[in-house]
Structure 1
């Protein structure tokens, strides 16, 4: 992960989102089958970070190298762009934690670590909590009656 810039982080996160959508269409294995994306996108996927393995749960530090939280989720806007990372602070094992949406552009990546300049645990806790939108689940498919 050494040498990745904020732009690389954004590109890889978007590529991971594209991969997730493409992979859900068919049971495909990265690197062995066509993913339904361009060759350039495929190369970015193979050389990039895995959101699950390399980003989610990773600590977030401030400029004083103090851990102020960890990345809990990545938010993808309806247009397909990565808009924010949800940073979880406080609590223990997810209990009583405070989740805050932070724009992706606010992150700085240094030596593979995620930094938020000027941030503190107290500042994150004072920020309004991120709430997921309430989207109705689709109805369960019903068996069709013969006509």
Structure 2
């Protein structure tokens, strides 16, 4: 009986390194490699640092807020959807703005030269069906 238990435990112990090796970070399984994980951890969080945050112009006036981020099929963040609507965003007017036009000034997202009226006059962004 003890020999059977020993054989089972020995079999599990010998197969454990093979099982753990199959899930090493950076393998072709799900997730990211250790190198990619470093990039992810120092990158921007859309939820924490972008979405819902106020957009200012270079005169420190509030001109809208970030409602969404558009990632193109090429996997690049290309556009921010800015809500330039009315008070407390009751009347939405979403405008697509290339992310290259934004500047980061301290902890503020700045859209140089923008005014609330100019954003409201821009064509409204609508999601494809």
- Tell me which interval the TM-score lies in, with the shorter structure as reference length: 0.7 to 0.9
**Aligned position for 1:114:** 109
Deviation of the 1:124 alpha carbon: 0.2
Q: Distance in 1 between matches of 2:111 and 2:87?
A: 21
Q: CA 1:82–1:90 in 2, change beyond 3 Å: closer, same or farther? A: same
**Aligned position for 2:82:** 87
CA offsets, 1:52-99, max 9 Å, x none? Answer: 111100000001000100000000111111110000012244431110
SS in 2 for 1:44: helix
Q: Distance in 2 between matches of 1:40 and 1:129?
A: 40
Task: Tell me the matched-pair count.
Answer: 102
5+ long unaligned stretches in structure 1:
1-32, 135-147
Match among 130, 139, 143 for residue 125 of structure 2:
130
Provide runs of 4+ in structure 1 moved above 3 Å: none
Q: Distance in 1 between matches of 2:111 and 2:89?
A: 21
The two structures, once aligned, show a CA RMSD in angstroms of 1.7
Deviation of the 1:44 alpha carbon: 1.8
SS in 2 for 1:45: helix
Match among 41, 47, 65 for residue 70 of structure 1:
65
Q: Distance in 2 between matches of 1:90 and 1:51?
A: 21
| Higher RCO (CA-CA < 8 Å; seq separation 6+) | 1
SS in 1 for 2:52: coil
5+ long unaligned stretches in structure 2:
1-23
**Aligned position for 1:50:** 45
